[in-house]
Amino acid sequence: MRSMHHIISTREYTTEMFDDILELAEKLEPVAKGEVKSEIMDGKVLALLFFEPSTRTRMSFEAAMLRLGGQVLNMGSIEASSIAKGESLADTIRVTSQYADAVVLRHPREGAALMASECSSSPIINGGDGAGHHPTQTLLDLYTIKRESKLENLNIALAGDLKYGRTIHSLCYALSRYHARINLVSPPELRLPDRIVDDLLKRNIDVNITDNMEDVIEDIDVLYMTRIQKERFPDPAEFNRISNSMRITKELIHSAKPEMKIMHPLPRVNEISFEVDNTPHAAYFKQAFYGIPVRMAILCKVLGVEDKIKEEGM
């Protein structure tokens, strides 16, 4: 029997493991766009267990499964499930993992996906566990960089809330596999935790820390912006000052390279001005689309149907 292939974290992924999924995603892009019909997931069922709100992750998993000819089971709201009666996550996983071939789990507590993998009879895909990991976001971020810019010799700026953003933390480790130059642009209060900076330096990554976007805007290939959350600041005036200082405007990107791309995990609030949307720099909506081929590739890996992709001539 094949051992189960859970996707919990990309922390220990090698470049080969990343490349394998990114190449598979590229093959599946025509299916994701609806240009090519596929039935490789015919008869397969994916369960979605979301204990926290989600639009992009949940819907792109649904879209990925449906485009590949599979079916989706959605737990729905917590209020309408046994969770409301006090059922543990462990029991919920033991039960629902028997109803499906794989389970996507989003949960507010760190480590929930790993615990779920220990009591599940189907593969678990981590759709975000608190402030912990969100591996499918990391993979789609890498894929976006690959498709819209380049992964080799990349000069990237990670900006906004670098302290609390799990997306940023996982992306740092992934980018270190590709030896990117990483510029960390944030107010001092929201700097990347020292332990991650230390890990990057140990991996011989060129790290530049600044609080001024203008220091880096001319040289970078990609600007990865994240949302600064109001609740991190007790003083609203301080929040306004900081969020305005980090705002991406048309004026700011005027001095950027023409091929520089702006990414954002979304949802955005006001950290990227709407006027930037219509410039060739904006890649964040394409990034949201790339979630589909990447999650298709992940599903194919987890459910062991890669061979069928070749059979379908993709």
Partner 1 sequence: MNQTDKSNQPDKRRSPKLGDKNDLRIKAIENGTVIDHITPGQALNVLHILSLGEDFTNTVSVVMNAGGSRGDKDVVKIEGRELTEKEVDAISLLSPKATVNIIRNFEVIQKRQIKTPEYIFGIVKCVNPNCITNSSEPIEAKFAVTANEKVKSLILRCVFCESVMTEDLIQYIE
CB–CB of 97/121 below 8 Å?
yes
SS3 at position 314: coil
Does the protein bind partner 1 through residue 73 (CB under 8 A)? Answer: no
| First-residue to last-residue Cα distance in the chain | 27
Give the residue, chosen from 88, 153, 244, 270, that forms a contact with partner 1 under the rule CB under 8 A. Answer: 88
Pick the closest to residue 130 from 145, 108, 154 (CA basis). Answer: 108
Q: Which of 2, 85, 195, 202 binds partner 1 (CB under 8 A)?
A: 195
User: Residue 248 CB, nearest distance to partner 1 (Å)?
Assistant: 31
Site membership for partner 1, residue 83 (CB under 8 A): no
**Number of residues located near partner 1, criterion CB under 8 A:** 16
**Segment contacting partner 1 by CB under 8 A, of 102-110, 245-253, 269-277, 305-313:** 102-110
245 binds partner 1 (CB under 8 A): no
24 or 103: CB nearest partner 1 = 103
Q: Is 132 in the site for partner 1 (CB under 8 A)?
A: yes
202 binds partner 1 (CB under 8 A): no
Contact segment (CB under 8 A) with partner 1 among 50-58, 109-117, 209-217, 241-249 equals 109-117
Confirm or reject binding of residue 2 to partner 1 (CB under 8 A).
no
Most distant CA pair in the chain, distance? 59
Q: Which residues pair with 185 in a beta bridge?
A: 159, 210
DSSP secondary-structure letter at 282?
B
Q: Which stretch binds partner 1 (CB under 8 A): 14-22, 95-103, 130-138, 302-310?
A: 130-138
> Can residue 275 be called a binding residue for partner 1 (CB under 8 A)?
no
**C-alpha 105: how far from chain center:** 14
Q: Give the shortest CB-65-to-partner 1 separation in angstroms.
A: 26
Could you give the 3-state DSSP secondary structure of residue 149? coil
DSSP letter string, 219-242: T-SEEEE-PPPGGG-S-HHHHHHH
Dist. CA 64–CA 48, nearest whole Å: 12
Find the shortest distance in angstroms from Cβ 121 to partner 1.
Answer: 17
What is the C-alpha to C-alpha distance for residues 119 and 109, in angstroms, rounded to an integer?
16
Any contact of residue 165 with partner 1 (CB under 8 A)? no
